[in-house]
Amino acid sequence: MNKRAVGYELVVFVTQWGLILIGFGILTKLVAPLNLLDTTLSLGRIFDAGMKGLIALILSVAWLFIWDRQVRRYFQRRPRQ
Amino acid sequence: MASLGANTIAILIALGSFPVSLALTRFFMYWNSGHGITGIDVHKLNRPKVPEMVGVAVPLTIVLFAAIYSLIEGASSIPLLAYSLVVGLAALVGALDDRLKMRGIFKPLFTLLCGLPILILGVMFPGQIYNSTLHVPLFGGYHLPVIYPLTILVAVSVTSNTVNMLDPLNGSMAGGISIVAGGLLIGSILIGAGSTPIFLYASLMFSLLGFLYYNRFPAVAFAGNVGQLSIGASVGALAILGRTEIASIVAIFPNIQNSFFFLSRIRRFTEHRELISRPTKLLPDGRLADSGDPRAPLTLVRTLLIGRPATENQIVSTIWMLFLTSTSLAVITLLLTGVVI
């Protein structure tokens, strides 16, 4: 068993946990209160939700990107000879 | 009984799912074996034949106990019905896949439909199944009347498939998800959740422990897709019914890690059986090692084996330890959900 790899997994989990809390915090405090489109218009409410959903999707992709970079850095290095 | 709290009664009823799951698992071991429903344990030197699809015992137990609890707690019957339908539909998709060997893309597509009972019953009985306000740790919450219902379908599909993907070794899925269910049960009790989610988390945990008794190393029963998909769908449905959405994502970090890197390397939905390059190999001394094949996916098990082979038992214990860590973070997340800074 690669003990260092286990340690790296734990670092990845804690980092991603911190990022998930920050990400949902951004959505709650910054994105959700925005009025991106006039919600009184017909379909305005749907498009407003869609825009905010898109922002959430971008944040999720960023979250997965950071996760991917971490794992590539920790686990896909050439082993020392 | 009258002096006992609702949560205590819920847990006591759920406790009954342990012996029932144990008995059903044993029954299906013999029945499936007798009908030629077996698989090969490729991580053993003697490659033993093991009865497959025995994990059907878990969704059967869960649905049976949901019905029993519904008879006792009549007011909760709608969420219990939604939950049972989700678990039952996912089990059906899994059973079809086990028997028909569907292509990898069909499982995520069909499991998208498994969340429909929550969505439909939620629309029919507003406020009884889900609440569109997402509670966020430390930051309060926000209302998602349009997006939340749509994410239900995705959530059930993601959890069922990600759980399905992390069951390569004896007891890895059953033990891991038992830890997740147990942790979220404790978290739900600590934050004062309703007795229905507490019952459902307890029932899931005890059902899984009954199955784990036979699925632990050296396994004499395999879950099959029928077990894996329904257990994953159960986690997704419970995240919505129990209001533990964010905590559930955190609890299944090991599953997400495994699935994400499998998909990022393979770049398509596929079955393990269709892979030409294997992430691990069996050594002559019975230990498992990284295959070293650059075309093979970087799975969770493979990351743990980089440069250092280990026994199956050691790997599974480590996976459970990772689940224990992620579930501890999930419990903290639940506790922080009530805190606003």
pLDDT in tens, B61-103: 999 999 999 988 776 789 999 999 999 999 999 999 988 888 7
Q: How far apart are CA B236 and CA B248, in angstroms?
A: 8
> Does B298 reach chain A within 8 Å, measured CB to CB?
yes
Mean per-residue pLDDT, B323-332: 96
The amino acid at A75: F
- Whole-number average pLDDT of chain B: 88
* A16 at B interface, C-beta within 8 A: yes
Lowest-pLDDT range of B187-201, B226-240, B272-286, B327-341: B272-286
Per-residue pLDDT band at A33 (split at 50, 70, 90): confident
- B313 to chain A: nearest residue by CA? A1
The dihedral built from the CA positions of residue B269, B271, B277 and B279, taken in this order, carries a sign that is positive
Tens digits of residue pLDDT in B102-152? 877 788 888 899 999 999 998 898 888 888 888 888 888 888 887 888 889
Please give the model's pTM, rounded to 2 decimal places.
0.90
Q: How many angstroms separate the most distant Cα atoms in chain A?
A: 66
The answer to whether residue A80 sits within a structural domain is no
Rounded CA-CA distance B274/B2 in Å is 56
Which residue type occupies A32? A
The β-bridge partners of B50 are B39
Residue B133, classified by CB atoms within 10 Å of its CB into exposed (0-12), middle (13-18) or buried (19+), is middle
Residue A61 within any structural domain of the chain: yes
CB contact under 8 A, B325 and A71: no
Encoded amino acid at B215, one letter? N
Q: Which residue of B has its CA nearest to A75?
A: B303
- Distance between CA atoms of residues B99 and B31, nearest Å: 15
Within a domain: A81: no
Q: What are the CA-CA distances from residue B15 to residues B65, B69, B326 (Å)?
A: 10, 12, 25
Q: What is the pLDDT of residues B204-251, one digit of tens each?
A: 999 999 999 999 989 999 999 999 999 999 999 999 999 999 999 999
Of B171, B198, B190, B181, the residue nearest B234 (C-alpha): B181
In this prediction, residues B296-310 reach a mean pLDDT of 85
Give the whole-angstrom CA distance, residue B243 versus residue B36. 42
Helix residue spans in B101-171 (DSSP H) = 106-114, 116-124, 147-165
Burial A41-77 (b: 16+ CB within 10 A, else e): eeeeeeebbeebbebbeebeeeeeeebeebbeebbee
3-state secondary structure of B143: strand
Can you tell me the ipTM of this complex?
A: 0.85
Question: Strand, helix or coil at B282?
Answer: strand
**What confidence category does residue A46 fall into, taking pLDDT thresholds of 50, 70 and 90?**
confident
- Work out the minimum CA distance from B171 to partner chain A, whole angstroms: 18
Number of domains observed in the structure of chain A: 1
SS3 label, residue B281: strand
Instruction: Determine, yes or no, domain membership for A35.
Output: yes
Q: Is some CB atom of chain B closer than 8 A to the CB atom of A76? A: yes
d(CA B268, CA B271): 10
Identify the domain containing residue A18 by its residue range: 3-75
Is A13 domain-assigned? yes
